[in-house]
Amino acid sequence: MAGHFEATPGGGAAVALDEVEISILRSLVVQLLELIGPGDQPADGEDPLAALFAEGPSKPPSDPALARLFPDAYGGPDRPAEGGKPEDELRELSAEFRRFTENDLRSGKREDAVTVVRTLDALAPAGDGGAVLTLTGDECRSWLRSLNDLRLTIGTRLEVSDEDEGEEGSLYRLPDADPRKPMVMAYLWLGALQETLVETLMP
């Protein structure tokens, strides 16, 4: 179990983590929460129902990592043009879609990240400071989404391409003196966790 998730009865999963791994995971997820932001909470006296239907932003985030987490729904560098529509029309469609969906998407990502932090904080450390993390099926899905968000964020910061990630890719050949090496190691480790967690959820 050490270093990778294994399936548990009832549709959950478990992984053994040492003290350093727990600390790194928690720190990365807290940073992800800070990046996503606190969200729009209704102020004192404000109608919670009105806040629920508040419109979100219509423009993509300026931060490249946030733009990767909340991409345009139509067109854009990661999405092909649809039906030969002109770029102006695709931008308008994306703005409309973003205005009515981004707030909910952010809330979902925050909830997933908070679930990760809470499950880590609930761990009972063993004698060596490590612990076995055991997740329910729902917690597995929150973890899976947050691991994906972390990898998207770190990959954007590192400007990772598909060619970099293969076994012969440049990520595996970075010299120890490269300042990116710690984040690259975290990126690859998160990928291994994500892969084994996906395997536990497969029928």
Which tens digit of pLDDT belongs to each residue from 176-186?
888 888 998 99
Choose among 185, 103, 102, 117: nearest CA to 151. Answer: 185
Asked whether 114 and 108 are in contact (CB, 8 A), the reply is no
What stretches in the chain show pLDDT beneath 50?
1, 42-43, 168
> How far apart, in whole angstroms, are the C-alpha atoms of residue 197 and residue 191?
10
> What pLDDT score does 164 carry?
61
Which one-letter amino acid corresponds to residue 81? A
Q: For the purposes of burial, counting CB atoms within 10 Å of the CB of 69, is it exposed (0-12), middle (13-18) or buried (19 or more)?
A: buried
> What pLDDT score does 89 carry?
81
> What pLDDT score does 79 carry?
52
> What pLDDT score does 87 carry?
76
> What pLDDT score does 1 carry?
44
Count of positions (residues) in the chain: 203
The dihedrals phi and psi of 8, each to the nearest 5 degrees, come to: -120, 160
> How far apart, in whole angstroms, are the C-alpha atoms of residue 5 and residue 119?
15
> What pLDDT score does 162 carry?
65
With both helix axes pointing from N to C terminus, report the angle between 137-158 and 19-36 in degrees, rounded to the nearest 10.
70
